[in-house]
A and B are shown apart, each in its own frame.
Chain A
Amino acid sequence: MKEHKTIEEIEKEIVEEFSLFDSWDDKYEYIIDLGKKLPPLEEQYKKDENKVRGCQSTVWLVAEYRDGAVFYKADSDAVIVKGLISMLVRVLSGQSPNAIVNAPLDFIREIGMIGHLAQTRSNGLLSMVKQMKNYALVYKLKNAV
């Protein structure tokens, strides 16, 4: 059985991976590679209700609750965004709703993404985070009742 890693542990891994890169060229190359490797979302999920608002590119995000954990699948028509989604999915998918809602996600800042991708509508990174947390919150609240 695969060992379960906490959100903090995975975040730390990503920060360490990024510390190996000297330049943003290399960082982007890595992010683009992650984007290309993320399996495309099945066509049936690519509908308006799954779109994340606030993104210049189109981002689709779906979540599923199973055995006490939230599993995400996502896609985008822009590959850098897709790479960012891939990292968020790696960190958050398979975690408990409570852990997701409370996740600090400091890695985004620590790898230098905030500042490089400004908090404008030109990137939907924060919208994606918000949407992922919203799904987790819904499952958390459903469990509470």
Chain B
Amino acid sequence: MIETAVIENSLDVYAIRQHFPVLNRQVKGKPLVYFDNAATTQKPQVVIDALVNYYTGYNANIHRGIHTLAEEATAAFEATRDTVQQFINAASREQIIFTKGTSEGINLVAQTWGRQNIKAGDEIIISSMEHHSNIVPWYILCQEKGAVLKFIPINEDGELLVDEFEKLLSNKTRVVSIAHVSNALGTINQVKKIIAEAHKAGAVVLIDGAQSSVHLDIDVQDMDADFFAFSSHKLYGPTGVGVLYGKKHLLENMPVYQGGGEMIKEVYFDKIIYNDLPYKFEAGTPNIADTIAFKAALDFTKAIGKEKIRRHENELLSYATSNLEQVPGLKIIGRAKQKISVISFVIDKIHPQDIGILLDNRGVAVRTGHHCAQPLMDCYRIPGTTRASFALYNTKEEIDALLTGLHKAIKLLA
């Protein structure tokens, strides 16, 4: 019975692939195998169509014109906000702020809430596995305010040491900013527990959802995150769009970020009345086309079902893990019990760059290097890894192509 249920619920990956035009292309004379999904995912035709339809059908600036095109564009733009609200289960649509991406969301919090609330001697806790986007904004803030940046250590498997985190927490802790999922290792962090502990210490918590939002079910209320930031382009949507979610009382009390049109209500020579949420943080003409097309991406994954996608990706992960483990000299970096479909590895005496070049020569796209997480690489005392990250359109045959490519590369390089 269970067998049947699994088959009925399994994803028809070959049908899914038909939605992604780029997957038909060849690279270096070989069919493209795209395993750099943690960097950015490919886009389904519906997303591309949404972009084209906007520009061919109703391109207009939003929120101001009273003409038909402006109304249509505004409606489509705001519809994305509603979809995002449901996607992360936010309490209200005003809590969804559109940004350029995750990095801008984190910078926004650091530069507004942070500048208002952080003073000399305060402490900000991040982890050793953060992406530079969740290190540098806090580093800049600490430099400016004389605050202290602290790092939660990790174990050999690439899991956060929650006990050590609890020791770092004190009445000086103002902010805890943690990746929901590590981009380099795939580790799923226990954010609910981390948030609860941080709240007990009176700290505000930002969750970097850049890597998690495409794989996991996101419920910002259940998680109790104060801020949650993520990007459209890692979710099959266009580049240049991100979301910052925040708790309402925090967003309302935060100073404005950038000045410009849209974020103001009234402007006089001697005073300015700022707009309400969420527009208060959306200065200037936003990225209208890409934001509209982002909805198509969210609808696309919703129609397939995240659970189904997750099951498929987990299958790919375990297939790849067990096969990669057989490769002589290969060591997987990041063996957390809870992982998304990302595998980072190193091979004895072989530089990741050589692997990356030779795999690319066979049409296999992987990421090599430090993955914008240099402190993490220092923890493992390695210059970088080769990372394969899987998405809903990847197949076991593609993993076989990776393995064949790896064996050939090792033979050449060893």
Contacts and interface: CB of A to CB of B under 8 A. Distances in A.
Contacts of B408: 25
B354 interface: yes
B285 interface: no
Contacts of B5: none
Contact of A79 (B28, B368, B383, B413): B413
Interface stretch (B42-50, B80-88, B96-104, B356-364): B356-364
B361 A24 contact: yes
B353 A81 contact: yes
Contacts of A28: 357-358, 361, 412
Interface residues of B, number: 16
A58 B357 contact: no
B369 A56 contact: yes
A58 B383 contact: yes
A122 B383 contact: no
B384 interface: yes
B392 to A, nearest CB: 26
Given A24-B28, A32-B413, A78 B369 contact: no
A61 interface: no
A77 B412 contact: no
A29 B351 contact: no
Q: Which 10 pairs of residues, A with B, have the shortest CB-CB distance?
A: A78-B351, A78-B353, A57-B353, A80-B354, A56-B353, A78-B354, A56-B369, A24-B361, A80-B357, A77-B351
Given A24-B28, A57-B383, A123-B353, 13 more contacts: A28-B357, A28-B361, A32-B412, A56-B369, A77-B351, A77-B383, A78-B353, A79-B351, A79-B354, A80-B358, A117-B357, A122-B356, A123-B357
Contacts of A79: 350-351, 354, 413
A3 to B, nearest CB: 33
A79 B412 CA distance: 10
Contacts of A29: 412
Contacts of B28: 24, 116
A79 B353 CA distance: 9
A80 B361 contact: no
A65 to B, nearest CB: 31
A56 B368 CA distance: 9
A97 to B, nearest CB: 31
Interface string A114-125: 001100001100
Interface string B172-212: 00000000000000000000000000000000000000000
B354 A122 contact: no
B307 to A, nearest CB: 36
B353 A122 contact: yes
Interface in B340-396: 350-351, 353-354, 356-358, 361, 368-369, 383-384
B361 to A, nearest CB: 5
Interface in B395-414: 408, 412-413
Interface in A75-111: 77-81
Nearest to A33: B412
A122 B412 contact: no
Nearest to A36: B413
B222 to A, nearest CB: 40
Given A79-B351, A80-B353, A122-B369, A25 B361 contact: yes
A32 to B, nearest CB: 5
Nearest to B358: A28
Nearest to A117: B357
Nearest to B370: A56
B354 to A, nearest CB: 5
